[in-house]
Amino acid sequence: MLFNTSEFFVFLAIVLAVFYASPKALRRVILLVASYVFYLSWNYKFVILLLGLTVVDYGAAIAIERASAARKKPFLLISLAANLGMLGFFKYYNFFADNLAQLLRFPPHSWTFSIILPLGISFHTFQSISYVVDVYRGEQKAIRNPIDYALFISFFPQLVAGPIVRAEEFFADLFSWKHPSQEEVLRGVLLVTLGLTKKIVFADQFAQISDSYFQHLADHPGGFAAWSGVLSFAMQIFFDFSGYTDMAIGMALLLGFHFPVNFRRPYLAFSITDFWHRWHISLSRWLRDYLYIPLGGNRHGRWMTYRNLMLTMLLGGLWHGASWNFVIWGGYHGGLLSIERIMGRREFEKKPPLWLYPLRALITFGLVCIGWVFFRAATFADSRYVITQLFHGGKQFQALLPRWMVYMTGVSLLIAIIEEKFEWTERLSRGSAWAYAAFMILLLLTIELIGVTEKALPFVYFQF
């Protein structure tokens, strides 16, 4: 059940209706049942996995809290082993088995299995790990009510692709649940609509161009085609993922939960450091708190900082998918972050003067786009080919982007700049009803007329 289908909206309407019509005591159960129904609609077999990990982590956290300081660690290790073991097996087993086979000169696929990746495993395992580690660190109390904990792991708006919510944020909302305010209701509806617009109007339209380019590279020689394809993918992935996130945040808001912001106009970043403060913020935050800082962060000198940055980004890349291309993508960003550190951290965290901002943003965007090539291309050879085309593709003019999509890009850039300056979508739900309605009507008409509605295309991050 994809967020961009009518079935999902029927499901959401039923959940909202039943949730608010029920007594407060039953609401958590209703949300839990709804979340499992949502997960069941994808693949009923993996519910057992989700349930199993929930039981292990629920038990491990209580055991950690009860145990003396010296005896906490084994429970933490059990939880980590369960989560990383499952993630490792389902997501990375074939990758490592294949590489090992190649290394030992065995025929390819000698030791691989046909493994289906359970939906959302990368997200819910990270969320579980953060919870258990927080309990281990004494920063979070172990949750006693299994329904509460199960809901934290399976809450349907963010189950399959985040944002990765920290336990303290989720349980603060759950334990002192308040009916969403009028403003929150409006903001929730706006975010769901905006997210849907981003997905089916922008992401899915750009996907047609980027898919056509990356799936048939030989048919589209030349630099113009390469830039069209890469720019389209840059647009697709941003609108796809931030659209999903907006919908998730909006739905959570309608149910009285407050999710953290996951994107803050990342293509307006003036450095790669700034980019990672704006892109998939909940993952960056997770990697920082549960990987980079435990590795030592920047506490042990420059070289260790660079090493930690590289390791964090390499693993962050690998988290996205079991392929060397993702590792390269992570390493590329780790390298750029390290270079920025070498050149002076403050310089890349401080907003540049207005006259320099556009140039810095353009350079950053260009660097990010080059990174996307590794993210999107099917193989390393394809990535290398596209990079070569970007810079040495000759002057063959084959621009794949139709003019109206270039305008769409321009309009979205303009909206992003205005949003950066005035945060007007934030204000919209507080301001005049007429302005809100006018904007919503515009979104709905755009969905109706430009949205790809013939076929519901899955969200890119669902595969992770």
What is the binding site for other proteins (CB under 8 A)? 6, 182-183, 185-186, 189, 402-404, 433-434, 436-438, 440-441, 444-445, 448-451, 453
Contact 64, 75 (CB under 8 A): yes
Considering the complex, what minimum distance in angstroms separates the CB of residue 41 from other proteins? 17
* The residue type at 246: D
Sign of the four-CA dihedral 260, 243, 152, 311: negative
**Alpha-carbon separation of residue 216 from 51, 225, 385 (angstroms):** 41, 11, 12
Closer residue to other proteins, CB minimum distance, 71 or 430: 430
- What span, in angstroms and rounded, lies between the C-alpha atoms of 37 and 1? 10
Looking at the Cβ atoms of 13 and 362, the one nearer to other proteins is 13
CA distance 62 to 3: 34
Most distant CA pair in the chain, distance: 70
Closest separation between CB of residue 90 and other proteins, Å? 33
Give dist(CA 363, CA 30) in Å, integer. Answer: 48
Q: Quick check: 154 and 39 in contact, CB under 8 A?
A: yes
Q: Closest approach of Cβ 461 to other proteins, in Å?
A: 26
Answer whether 133's CB lies under 8 Å from 164's CB. no
Residue 301 exposed, middle or buried by CB count within 10 Å (0-12, 13-18, 19+): exposed
Closer CB to other proteins, residue 223 or residue 256?
A: 256
Distance in Å, CB of 447 to other proteins, minimum? 9
The amino acid sitting at 199 is: K
- Least separation in angstroms between CB 378 and other proteins: 28
119, 3 Cβ separation under 8 angstroms: no
Q: Measured from the CB atom, is 48 or 445 closer to other proteins?
A: 445
Catalytic residue among 124, 220, 280, 320: 320
Whose structure tokens read 């590329």? 332
Assess whether 320 carries a catalytic annotation. yes
Task: Point out the residues that are catalytic.
Answer: 320
